[in-house]
């Protein structure tokens, strides 16, 4: 699986307040209470934000406890970026800091560096793909373990595509529009859209026009120094055409459709496509086992060299709290090492979590990581990927972008007004 390269493994910026990857939004789940020891055992507290792997992570920690009976775990899962970040900050403020938590890297890593244990000497460091540690390396020291590689595009239902007579997969905007028309003509809802979630629009969606720029970093620099604008930029105009297409051919009430409802619409076959990532594979498997799915790009124009790509990157990293009791820290570090080096851990990560590994020592077949992961791997191997540019937004911009885009979808703002609002948010929040 030699598909990692620095083109998309580099994380060049992140919302400093967004400590949790915003791939999902859900309810808080917790087991047992906070504490460093219980009945003479070490209790490792884990705080994480991905509701999709809550059950799988619990099973993996149970396996570790079977092999290390002196260590037990308390796992708290809080889905949703802003809510999760606020909950984590509250834990630290109330002296209930977890032993293991997640961090997006780069600026978020710099902001929280004083809370991190140095993991540079850990055995797994040598096994990580080139570039995958960059977001958590500060002054030559490694402070986080990459959780996995993730990516997104338009997941599609192969059975429904066949039913609609779509034999060539769309890779341009015009082809996607033609496919949507064919699906609708067969009585199939083309898109499951969950625009009730700000991050679906502002992070994953708006990533497209940023990524399409001929020089993304130069464009972002122009926004920061006031010489550039989102308003009138051709790729942002293209994105609004894409938004219009999904709303026209999507499910009803997109602004009240949340993440779980969106995924359920797709997983039950009520819609043919969904803008989400390989993290939905376990949910699909639970709702409709053996569903035939794959990825196509999120094309916003007809330039195939730009449009035929998926968005792939390191979403988040495990970190260890340096202020935890020594026994907790040592158990936490041992668990993270065991998770990516033991056969039990490696097997769980690819077969149960459906993760695309960030480690050269973890092999993953299509059967293990699922068809969505397999398509990400294929696109990655072909070099047809974009990095996650939303990591470079000013702190707090994502939520404001989401509100503006939701107003556009709801008809309260025009495209021009929305683009002006995006520029205003950037100008206000930039440092």
Does residue 103 sit within a domain?
Answer: yes
Please tell me whether residues 303 and 324 are part of one structural domain. Answer: no
Please tell me whether residues 108 and 155 are part of one structural domain. Answer: no
Alpha helices in 135-256 (DSSP H): 158-163, 173-185, 198-199, 207-212, 216-225, 234-248
Please tell me whether residues 270 and 402 are part of one structural domain. Answer: yes
Does residue 424 sit within a domain?
Answer: yes
Does residue 120 sit within a domain?
Answer: yes
- For residue 197, give its domain range: 150-312+387-429
Please tell me whether residues 194 and 256 are part of one structural domain. Answer: yes
Copy the structure tokens of residue 349: 């990560």
Please tell me whether residues 160 and 288 are part of one structural domain. Answer: yes
- Report the domain count for the chain: 2
Does residue 109 sit within a domain?
Answer: yes
Copy the structure tokens of residue 236: 């942002």
Please tell me whether residues 94 and 154 are part of one structural domain. Answer: no
Please tell me whether residues 294 and 216 are part of one structural domain. Answer: yes
Please tell me whether residues 297 and 332 are part of one structural domain. Answer: no
Q: pLDDT in tens for each of the 431 residues of the chain? A: 333 333 333 322 232 233 333 333 333 444 333 455 556 789 999 999 888 899 999 999 999 999 999 999 999 998 755 567 889 999 999 999 999 999 988 778 888 999 999 999 999 999 988 778 888 999 999 999 999 989 999 999 999 999 999 999 999 999 999 999 999 999 999 999 999 999 999 999 999 999 999 999 899 999 999 999 999 999 999 999 999 999 999 999 999 999 999 999 999 999 999 999 999 998 999 999 999 999 999 999 999 999 999 998 888 999 999 999 999 999 999 999 999 999 999 999 999 988 889 898 998 888 888 999 999 988 887 889 898 888 788 888 999 999 999 999 999 999 999 999 999 999 999 97
Q: List the CATH number of the domain containing 31.
A: 3.40.190.10
Please tell me whether residues 304 and 340 are part of one structural domain. Answer: no
DSSP string for 53-119: GHHHHHHHHHHHHHH-TTEEEEEEE--SHHHHHHHHHHHHHTT---SEEEE--THHHHHHGGGBPP-
Does residue 1 sit within a domain?
Answer: no
Does residue 214 sit within a domain?
Answer: yes
Please tell me whether residues 172 and 111 are part of one structural domain. Answer: no
Does residue 355 sit within a domain?
Answer: yes
Residue 103 to residue 135: CA distance in whole angstroms:
10
Q: How far apart are the first and last CA of the chain?
A: 39
- How far CA 150 is from CA of 80, 278, 430, in Å, comes to 17, 7, 27
Copy the structure tokens of residue 380: 């990655």
Checking DSSP bridges between strand 385-386 and strand 310-313, what pairing results, if any?
parallel
Please tell me whether residues 36 and 143 are part of one structural domain. Answer: yes
- What's the whole-model pTM score? 0.74
Does residue 369 sit within a domain?
Answer: no
Please tell me whether residues 207 and 237 are part of one structural domain. Answer: yes
């Amino acid at each position: 699986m030699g598909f990692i390269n620095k083109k998309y493994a580099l994380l060049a910026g992140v919302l400093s307040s967004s400590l949790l990857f915003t791939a999902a939004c859900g309810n808080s789940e917790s087991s047992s209470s906070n504490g460093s020891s219980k009945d003479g055992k070490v209790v490792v507290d884990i705080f994480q934000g991905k509701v999709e792997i809550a059950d799988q992570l619990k099973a993996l920690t149970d396996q570790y406890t079977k092999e290390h009976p002196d260590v037990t775990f308390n796992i708290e899962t809080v889905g949703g970026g802003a809510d999760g970040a606020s909950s984590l900050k509250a834990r630290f403020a109330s002296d209930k800091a977890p032993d293991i938590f997640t961090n997006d890297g780069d600026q978020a890593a710099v902001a929280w560096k004083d809370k991190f244990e140095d993991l540079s000497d850990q055995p797994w460091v040598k096994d990580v793909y080139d570039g995958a540690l960059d977001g958590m390396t500060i002054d030559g020291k490694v402070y986080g373990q990459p959780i996995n590689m993730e990516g997104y595009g338009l997941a599609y239902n192969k059975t429904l595509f066949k039913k609609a007579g779509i034999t060539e997969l769309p890779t341009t905007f015009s082809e996607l529009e033609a496919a949507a028309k064919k699906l609708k003509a067969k009585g199939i809802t083309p898109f499951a859209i969950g625009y009730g979630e700000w991050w679906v629009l502002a992070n994953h969606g708006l990533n497209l026009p940023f990524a399409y720029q001929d020089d993304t970093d130069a464009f972002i620099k122009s926004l920061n120094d006031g010489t550039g604008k989102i308003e009138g930029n051709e790729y942002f105009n293209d994105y609004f055409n894409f938004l219009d297409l999904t709303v026209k051919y999507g499910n009803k009430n997109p602004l009240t459709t949340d993440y779980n409802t969106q995924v359920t619409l797709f997983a039950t076959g009520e819609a043919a496509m969904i803008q989400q990532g390989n993290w939905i594979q376990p949910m699909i498997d639970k709702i409709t086992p053996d569903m035939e799915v794959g990825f196509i790009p999120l094309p916003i124009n007809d330039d195939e060299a730009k449009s035929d790509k998926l968005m792939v990157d390191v979403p988040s990293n495990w970190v260890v709290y340096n202020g935890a009791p020594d026994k907790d820290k040592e158990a936490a570090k041992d668990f993270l090492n065991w998770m990516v080096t033991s056969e039990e851990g490696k097997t769980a990560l690819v077969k149960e979590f459906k993760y695309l590994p960030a480690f050269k020592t973890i092999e993953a077949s299509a059967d293990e990581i699922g068809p969505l992961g397999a398509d990400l791997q294929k696109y990655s191997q072909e070099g047809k990927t974009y990095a996650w540019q939303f990591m470079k937004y000013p702190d707090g911009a994502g939520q404001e972008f989401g509100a503006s885009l939701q107003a556009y979808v709801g008809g309260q703002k025009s495209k021009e007004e929305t683009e002006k609002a995006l520029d205003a948010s950037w100008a206000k929040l930039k440092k």
